[in-house]
Amino acid sequence: MRIPVHGTTLACDEYGSGTPLVLVHGTGAQASSWGGTVHDLAAGGHRVLAYDRRGYGRSAHPPVRDYRVHVADLAAVIDHVGAPAHVLGWSSGGNTALACAVERPELFRSLVVVEAPWHGLRGASPSLLAALARAKADQVRGRRREAAATFLRWAARWADGGNGFDPLPPEAKGELYANAPSVLAELGVHPYGLMMEHVPTARLARIPVPVTWLLGGRSIGWYADLHRRVATVVPGLHTETVDGAGHLVHVEQPEAFAKAALAGVARGA
């Protein structure tokens, strides 16, 4: 399926039938990055729609730094497939979904957020700043793949050592490397960048649908710290931890991820 949005079209894959469940991938990923979890989610009685964000995968477009564009694209996708929809956003896709729910709440039935780096720069850790500096240095040297991998390896770190990026199969890494231009564009400083510093956290309290937040049990503490800040202002926010998973929750523990996600979706049924 191709979905028309302002200035381009977005590639979207469809699975199953039922109420729409729109999946929003994170930085570096694309629709295929959800792997077999799309079938597990569809088995829950949903029409699962996984799209390539603008500038990623098959959705050809120059890299986008302004996340207001991605938020508008998500609204257009939901309008196209049939609102209101359940929405699941992973990582920066979670930021996109949160901002869209603030701007267009009538489009949502429920919202499931997976380790979104909401206001991640305000809560930046020394290790994040160091990773961004290393990625920038690689980019300046013309090593775009290495620069993207530096950041993605940091984001997928496990609290108990190692990371979820290195064990990925070659084809999955190939997709991430192919999206390196968009990754590096998003890592640049921009007033409307991927960590949504421009949207006041207090506005999230206005989201009228159930919000479920998934955390990986092996993830670095940075994600949990950012989640706690949101949890203080969002009434009724429900939190689930997926044991044995890091930031790549849907890759590392796909069955547990799908189960927790569907439970969150059911809260908005």
How many other CB atoms are there within 10 angstroms of residue 122's CB atom? 11
- pLDDT tens, position by position, 160-197: 999 999 999 999 999 999 999 999 999 988 999 999 99
> Encoding tokens for residue 152?
């993605």
pLDDT at 189: 87
pLDDT at 140: 94
pTM comes to 0.98
CA distances, 202 to each of 9, 199, 251 (Å): 33, 9, 32
- pLDDT tens, position by position, 128-163: 999 999 999 999 999 999 999 999 999 999 999 999
Quote the CA–CA distance of 192 and 70 in Å, as a whole number.
11
pLDDT at 269: 78
Quote the CA–CA distance of 220 and 180 in Å, as a whole number.
23
**Residues with pLDDT less than 70, the chain:** none
Percent composition of the chain: helix, strand, coil (DSSP 3-state, to 5): 45, 20, 35
* Residue-wise DSSP of 157-207: BBTTSSBSSTTS-HHHHHHHHHTHHHHHHHHS--TT-TT-TTS-GGGGGG-
